[in-house]
Amino acid sequence: MTTYSNRTDLTLEAQELLVRGEPDKKDFDGIITHTRREGKLNITKVEVTNDNGAAKIGKSVGTYVTIEMGNSELKSNEDYVHARSAIATELSALIPNIENKTVLIIGLGNWNVTPDALGPKVVSKLAITRHILEHFPDEREKNLNPVCAIAPGVLGITGIETAEIIKGVADRVKPDFIIAIDALASMRTERVNKTILLCDTGISPGSGVGNKRKELSKNTLGVPVYAIGVPTVVDAITMANETIEAIINALKEEVKTSENIYSFMKDIDPQDKQELISKVFNPGDENMIVTPRGIDEAITIMSKLIADSLNVFIHRHNYSYLQQAYLM
């Protein structure tokens, strides 16, 4: 039987799969997980500390922070400001000592495809200051950090590997570090457009939907690369599997007697179940990747939230000045 692999870019979900596969184990060598609640936000930090942990979870050694919005209503000013503050705080812990550092921000993705347009939309909302500081030296007195950004497009549009474009820009600009923003894939529908991942290990664009490109990391670009991502799509097979799991659990609650049909459904092996679903959703060589209704509004809100969080984080001592001078 063909092995089906859950498609996800979220380290939190990889960790959940690991725990599900070995439910009797609470600790794994090289993997440290901390979860805390802040208002409506659920914040989980997964630290992969050695090669054993990296091999086990399928992620590089580094720190991964997942911020789940849950029932947070980002249209509410209070919820929005709280989320922005939390993201900026986590970025500060992940990327220390940014004063007087040149930052290159990369908006990955295809601006013509809404679920993949997160990166370019974030770039369009950033406070870009590198050119201002070069041409107006007096502005340096405001203690602004030099920020530049690029949305390089995708291979299908440019004919050039994204990593090659970024490498050329980085060699010319010589940033102290790079922040890449990209749309991700999740295996949980409730996390789509409601979750933000931060990490210090770089990123492999397209990996969650089976279109993995050359990684963007310190190894390939020569400077530290941090990543920010939002899951905007979910694999159709994974979504169907999640739905069936919920139906089975509901039936188990409704029917207390162990009738044959319910016993059969309850005892289906997860791998067999996913293979069955795969045959229905994936009769040929292509699988469906789906995104929820209202994706346009979700991308608009999340791109603004990430851009504002970056502006607060990078220019935290002068954010009020920036709002008046550049962001209004």
Nearest-CA neighbor of 6 among 223, 214, 187? 187
Q: CA-CA distance, 88 to 75, in Å (whole number)? A: 18
Nearest-CA neighbor of 201 among 57, 17, 3? 57
204 neighbors 212 (Cβ within 8 angstroms): yes
Q: Is the pTM of this model over 0.85?
A: no
Mean pLDDT of 112-120: 93
pLDDT at 74 over 90: no
User: Is the pLDDT higher at 327 or at 100?
Assistant: 100
Q: Is 262 exposed, middle or buried (0-12, 13-18, 19+ CB in 10 A)?
A: middle
pLDDT at 303 over 50: yes
Q: Is 226 exposed, middle or buried (0-12, 13-18, 19+ CB in 10 A)?
A: buried
- What the block records as the tokens of 172 is 């010319």
Nearest-CA neighbor of 108 among 261, 272, 255, 226? 226
Q: Which residues on neighbouring strands pair with residue 181, listed in sequence order?
A: 107, 228
pLDDT tens for 25-71 read 767 899 999 999 999 999 999 999 999 999 999 899 999 999 999 88
> Within 10 Å of residue 263's Cβ, how many Cβ atoms?
12
Per-residue pLDDT at 209: 47
Name every residue whose Cβ is closer than 8 Å to that of residue 292 and which is 6 or more positions away in sequence.
Answer: 189, 192, 193, 298
Per-residue pLDDT at 3: 41
Mean pLDDT of 102-118: 93
pLDDT at 278 over 90: no
pLDDT at 207 over 80: no
pLDDT at 254 over 60: no
pLDDT at 79 over 70: yes
Mean pLDDT (the chain) is 82
> Please, what are the domains in the chain?
11-233+293-327 (3.40.50.1450), 239-281 (no CATH)
Q: What are phi and psi of 40, to 5 degrees?
A: -90, -5
Q: Are strands 177-186 and 225-235 parallel, antiparallel or unpaired?
A: parallel
pLDDT-above-70 percentage for the chain: 73
pLDDT at 285 over 90: no
Residue type, 47: E
Vertex 200, ends 165 and 59: CA angle to 5°?
95
Mean pLDDT of 81-104: 93
Sign of the CA dihedral with 79 first, then 181, 281, and 262 last: negative
Per-residue pLDDT at 42: 95
Name every residue whose Cβ is closer than 8 Å to that of residue 298 and which is 6 or more positions away in sequence.
Answer: 193, 232, 292
